[in-house]
Chain A
Amino acid sequence: MLRLFKKLERKDIIGILICTILIVTLVWLELKVPDYMSAITKLVQTEGSEMSEILEQGGLMIACAFGSLICSIAVGYFAARVGSSFSKTLRKDIFNKVGNMGVAEIKKFSTSSLITRTTNDVMQVELLLGMGLQAILKAPIMAVWALFKILDKGFEWSILVAVCVAILLFTVGILMIIVLPRFAKVQKLIDKINGVARENVSGIRVIRAFNAENYQKDKFNVVNDELTNMQLFNQRCFAILNPMMMLVMHGLTLGIYVIGAILIESAGMTDKITLFSNMVVFSSYGMQVIMSFLLLAMTFMIFPRAQISAKRINEVLDEPISVIEGKFNGSTKEIGTIEFKNVSFKYPDADEYVLKDISFKVSKGETIAFIGSTGSGKSTLINLIPRFYDATEGEVLVDGVNVKEYQAESLHNKLGYVPQKAVMFTGTVSSNVAYGDNGKDDIDSDKIKEAIEVAQGADFVSQMEGTYEAHIARGGTNVSGGQKQRLAIARAIARDPEIYIFDDSFSALDYKTDATLRKELKAYTKDATSVIVAQRIGTILNADKIVVLDAGVCVGMGTHEELLKTCEVYKEIAYSQLSKEELGNA
Chain B
Amino acid sequence: MPRFGRVAVQEKSKDFKGSMKRLIANLKPWKYIMIVALILAMTSAVLSLISPDLLSNLTDEVTKGIKPDQAKFEEIIENININLNSEKIDKKLSNLENEVSMTEEELSEVNNVFNILHNSSEEDSLALLLELPDSVLLYLLDDIKFEKVIITSEEQLEILKAINKINPDDSASSLKAIDELPSNVYDLIKPKIDMVKVKNITIVIAILYLISSVFSYIQSYSMSTVSNRFANNLRRRISTKINQLPLKYFDTHETGDVLSRVTNDVDTVSQNLNNSLAILVSSITLFLGSIFMMFTTNWLMAITAVLSTFVGFIAMFIILNKSQKYFSKQQEELGNVNGYVEEMYSGHNVVKVYNGTKEAMKEFSTLNDRLYIANKKSRFLSGMMQPIMAFVGNFGYVMVCIVGALLVMNGKITFGVIVAFMIYIRLFTNPLSQIAQAMTSLQSTVAASERVFEFLDEKEMPTQKDLKKHLNKSKVKGEIEFRNVKFGYDPGRTIIKNFSVKVKPGQKIAIVGPTGAGKTTMVNLLMKFYDINNGDILIDGVSTKELSRENVHELFVMVLQDTWLFEGTIGDNIRFNKEDVSDRKIWEALKTVGVDHFVSTLPGGLDYQISDNDAISQGQKQLLTIARGMIEDAPFLILDEATSNVDTRTEELVQKAMDKLMEGRTSFIIAHRLSTIRNADLILVMKDGNIVEQGTHDELLDQNGFYASLYNSQFEK
Q: Which of B85-93, B100-108, B398-406, B589-597 contacts A (4 or more CB under 8 A)?
A: B398-406
Residues of A within 8 A of B675 (CB): 579
Which residue of chain A has its CB nearest to the CB of B197? Answer: A261
**Interface positions of A from 234 to 280, Cβ below 8 Å from B:** 235-236, 239-240, 242-244, 246-247, 250-251, 253-254, 257-258, 260-262, 264-265, 268-270, 272-273, 276, 279
**Is A566 among interface residues, defined by CB-CB distance under 8 A?**
no
Cross-chain pairs A/B with CB under 8 angstroms, 11 sampled: A51-B409, A115-B342, A206-B560, A210-B558, A210-B576, A211-B577, A254-B209, A257-B62, A269-B176, A436-B359, A481-B515
Secondary structure call for the B interface: helix
- CB neighbors of A among B315-372 (8 A): 334, 337-361, 364-365, 368-369, 371-372
Selected contact of B383 from candidates A76, A247, A507, A508, CB within 8 Å: A76
Q: Is the CB of B714 within 8 A of A194?
A: no
Asked if B205 is at the interface (CB within 8 A of a chain A CB), the reply is yes
- A269 and B190 within 8 A (CB): yes
Interface stretch (choices B53-61, B131-139, B149-157, B485-493): B53-61
Counting CB contacts under 8 A, is B585 at the interface? no
Q: State whether A272 touches B191 (Cβ < 8 A).
A: yes
Stretch in contact with the other chain, from B28-36, B239-247, B289-297, B660-668: B239-247
Verify if A99 is at the interface (C-beta below 8 Å from B). yes
> Is A480 part of the binding interface, using a Cβ–Cβ cutoff of 8 Å?
yes
Cross-chain contact A437 with B358 (CB below 8 angstroms): yes
- Which of A62-70, A328-336, A357-365 contacts its partner? A62-70
Query: A206 and B558: CB pair below 8 A?
Result: yes
Q: Which residues of B contact A524 (CB under 8 A)?
A: none
Chain A residue numbers with a CB within 8 Å of B225 are 232, 236
Contact A193 B235 (CB under 8 A): yes
Contact check, B380 vs A77: say whether CB atoms are below 8 A apart: yes
Cα(A480)–Cα(B674), bound, Å:
26
A148 at the interface (CB under 8 A from B): no
Q: Does A91 contact B (CB under 8 A)?
A: yes
B66/A260 in contact, CB under 8 A: no
The answer, yes or no, to whether A392 is at the interface (CB within 8 Å) is no
* Given A85-B376, A242-B216; 7 other pairs, CB 8 A cutoff: A69-B390, A77-B383, A213-B243, A221-B239, A436-B350, A519-B717, A541-B717
**Chain A interface extent, by class:** 35 or more
CB-CB under 8 A from A511, the residues of chain B are 710, 713-714
Chain A contacts of B523 at CB under 8 A?
205
Interface centre among B342, B353, B388, B576 (most CB of A within 10 A): B353
Asked if B216 contacts A208 (CB within 8 A), the reply is no
Contact flags B444-457 to A (C-beta < 8 A → 1, else 0)? 00000000000000
Q: What is the bound-complex CA distance between A190 and B379, given in angstroms?
A: 29
> How far, in whole Å, are A304 and B197 apart by their CA atoms in the complex?
49
User: Which residues of chain A are within 8 angstroms of B516 by Cβ–Cβ distance?
Assistant: 480, 482
Q: Which parts of B386-424 form the interface with A (CB within 8 Å)?
A: 386-388, 390-391, 394-395, 397-398, 401-402, 404-406, 408-409, 415, 418
Decide: B228 and A235 in contact? CB cutoff 8 A.
yes
- B195 CB–A CB distance under 8 Å: yes
Q: Quick check: is B582 within 8 A (CB to CB) of the other chain?
A: no
Q: How far does the alpha carbon of A360 sit from the alpha carbon of B604 in the complex, in Å? A: 43
B553 and A87 contacting across the interface, CB-CB below 8 Å: no
Chain A residues near B619 (CB-CB < 8 A): 374
Stretch binding the partner chain, chosen from B1-9, B431-439, B475-483, B503-511: B1-9
Which of B171, B176, B352, B408 is close to A386, meaning CB atoms less than 8 Å apart?
B352
**B567 cross-chain contacts in A, Cβ below 8 A:** 195-196, 199
Cβ of B164 < 8 Å from any Cβ of A?
Answer: no
Whether, in the assembled complex, B569 has its beta carbon less than 8 Å from a beta carbon of chain A, the answer is: no
Query: B262 contacts A45, CB within 8 Å?
Result: no
User: Judging by beta carbons under 8 Å apart, are B232 and A225 in contact?
Assistant: yes
Pair A376/B228 contact, Cβ less than 8 Å = no
Task: Look across to chain B and name the residue whose beta carbon is closest to the beta carbon of A504.
Answer: B644
Contact B176 A270 (CB under 8 A): yes
Which of A79, A118, A376, A409 is B355 in contact with, Cβ under 8 Å?
A409
| B705 interfacial contact with A, CB 8 Å | no
Taking a contact as CB atoms closer than 8 A, the residue among B359, B376, B388, B401 that contacts A84 in the complex is: B376
Fill in one digit per residue for B69-90: 1 if any A CB lies within 8 Å of its CB, else 0.
0000000000000000000000
Segment of B18-26, B494-502, B648-656 in the binding face: B648-656
Are the CB atoms of A254 and B364 closer together than 8 Å?
Answer: no
Is A491 positioned at the interface, with any CB of B under 8 Å from its CB? yes
CB pair B632 A210 closer than 8 Å: yes
Q: Are B220 and A44 in contact (CB under 8 A)?
A: no
Q: A99-B351, A193-B262 are in contact. Are A260 and B62 (CB under 8 A)?
A: yes
Contacts of B342 in A (CB 8 A): 115, 474-475
Are A201 and B65 also in contact (CB < 8 A) when A261-B193, A480-B516, A495-B354 are?
no
Residue interface mask A514-527, B partner, CB < 8 A = 1 = 11000100000000
The residue in B231, B334, B387 that gathers the most chain A C-beta atoms within 10 A of its C-beta is: B387
A33 to chain B, nearest CB (A): 6
Cβ of A157 within 8 Å of any chain B Cβ, yes or no, is no
Verify A224–B242 contact, CB threshold 8 A.
no
A180-220 Cβ-contact flags toward B at 8 Å (1 or 0):
00000000001001111111111111111111111111001
CA distance A81 to B360 in the complex (A): 25
A65/B402 in contact, CB under 8 A: no
Find out whether the CB atom of B714 lies under 8 angstroms from the CB atom of A515: yes
CB proximity to B under 8 Å, residues A27-58 = 33, 37, 40-41, 43-46, 49, 51, 54-55, 58
Contact B62 A475 (CB under 8 A): no
Q: State the interface size on chain B (CB cutoff 8 A).
A: 165
Query: With an 8 A cutoff between CB atoms, is A92 at the interface?
Result: yes
A412 touches B345 (CB 8 A): no
**B527 proximity list for chain A (CB < 8 A):** 205, 208-209
B383-A475 in contact (CB<8A): no
> A295: CB under 8 A from chain B?
yes
Interface residues of A in 149-195 (CB under 8 A from B): 190, 193-195
- Of A338-346, A394-402, A417-425, A462-470, the one contacting chain B is A417-425
Cα–Cα, bound, A578→B560 (Å): 23
Q: Which residues of B contact A114 (CB under 8 A)?
A: 345
* Residue pair B553, A202 in contact (C-beta under 8 Å): no
Chain B residues within an 8 Å CB radius of A347: none
- Chain B residue numbers with a CB within 8 Å of A417 are 349-350, 353-354
When chains A and B are docked, how far (Å) is the Cα of A231 from the Cα of B227?
10
Would you call A388 an interface residue if the criterion is a C-beta within 8 Å of the partner chain's C-beta atoms?
yes
- List, in ascending order, chain A residues with CB within 8 A of B14's CB: none
Q: Does B240 contact A412, Cβ atoms closer than 8 Å?
A: no
Whether A239 and B221, one on each chain, are in contact in the complex, defined by CB atoms closer than 8 angstroms, is: yes
Q: Is the CB of B66 within 8 A of A279?
A: no
Q: Is B111 an interface residue (CB 8 A)?
A: no
Residues of chain B within 8 A (CB-CB) of A507 are 644
Interface status of A103 (Cβ within 8 A of chain B): yes
Given known contacts A228-B231, A373-B648, A374-B647, A80 and B380 CB-to-CB distance under 8 angstroms: yes
Residues of B within 8 A of A62 (CB): 394-395, 398
- Residues of chain B lying within 8 A (CB to CB) of residue A547: none
**From A72, A206, A215, residue with most partner B Cβ within 10 Å:** A206
Beta-carbon contact of B355 and A438 below 8 Å: yes
Cα-based distance from A470 to B529 in the complex (angstroms) = 35
Indicate if the CB atoms of A573 and B648 lie closer than 8 Å: yes
Give 3 nearest A-B pairs by CB, closest first.
A436-B354, A373-B647, A239-B220
Mask of A365-383 contacts with B, CB within 8 angstroms, 1/0: 0000000111110000000
Q: Are B391 and A68 in contact (CB under 8 A)?
A: yes
Q: Is the CB of A508 within 8 A of B371?
A: no
Q: A130-B5, A211-B553, A258-B202 are in contact. Are A412 and B355 (CB under 8 A)?
A: yes
A61 contacts B by Cβ under 8 Å: yes
> Of B4, B262, B357, which contacts A131 at CB under 8 A?
B4
